[in-house]
Amino acid sequence: MKNRFKKIAWIVFAVLLFGLMAFFSFQSKTPKNLPVQIGSDTAEGSSATSTVPWRSKTDIPEFQNLPSNWPQRLIIPSIKIDTTFQYVGLTGNNNIGTPTNYYQVAWFKLSSVPGEPGTAVISGHLDTINSPYGIFYNLDKLSLGDEIEIENKQSQLFHFIVSDIKTIDYTSSSEQLMQPSDQSRIVLVTCAGNWIKSQKVYDKRLVVFAQLAQ
């Protein structure tokens, strides 16, 4: 009787041991870090939009001490953009800085403040390594006369009207973007043209000029 009991016990033990080995073997073959799809909420094709939910930066501590006339929100109704600003200067290569993500725009702090006399330069990505649809993916669909709105920290809303659209070489000087002006105007800049793989850069820049509405 005892031998029969021992035999059953050994069978049960063997079954449990086999089950545990099979379980851990399966776990070891299962990927631990599956890639996260960034930008998967963006529509495919030419109808893609770059709209993101807007949250006021006045509630975020690091933005509370910024000058009240600095821009914080960009709205372009015709291409469904509603996003917030980053603030950039010059890079180590003396180029105008760009946003650190694909869904915000960046105001170049060495240019004029939007809404004040002079030219304000605003950059945004066409695409990024994380998303094929940057915030300015549809910038080329703007037309003369389209409206652009910028809201500052004081909730002042400035209305700009698209006055000119150009495509320039990526080696062009930024001076042509920041021509002195007694009027308030903005310049939106993004990549265009062909990708130069060896330099990891697009060979053109799409530039949209807009004047403050009177």
Take residue 186 and report the two structure tokens written for it: 């903005």
User: 21 and 69, same structural domain?
Assistant: no
Q: Is 148 within 8 Å of 210 (Cβ atoms)?
A: yes
Question: Is residue 210 over pLDDT 70?
Answer: yes
In this prediction, residue 181 carries a pLDDT of 83
Take residue 82 and report the two structure tokens written for it: 């509603």
When divided into structural domains, the chain yields a total of 2
What is d(CA 211, CA 3) in angstroms, rounded to the nearest whole number?
96
* CATH number where 163 lies: 2.40.260.10
User: 157 and 74, same structural domain?
Assistant: yes
User: 59 and 19, same structural domain?
Assistant: no
In this prediction, residue 101 carries a pLDDT of 93
Would residue 6 count as lying in a domain?
yes
Question: Is residue 45 over pLDDT 50?
Answer: no
Which pLDDT tens digit goes with each residue over 67-126? 999 999 999 999 999 999 999 998 888 888 999 999 999 999 999 999 999 999 999 999
Of the two residues 127 and 58, the one the predictor is more confident about is 127
Of the two residues 180 and 79, the one the predictor is more confident about is 79
Following CA atoms 18, 24, 27, 29 in sequence, which dihedral angle do they give, to the nearest 10 degrees?
-80
User: 72 and 149, same structural domain?
Assistant: yes
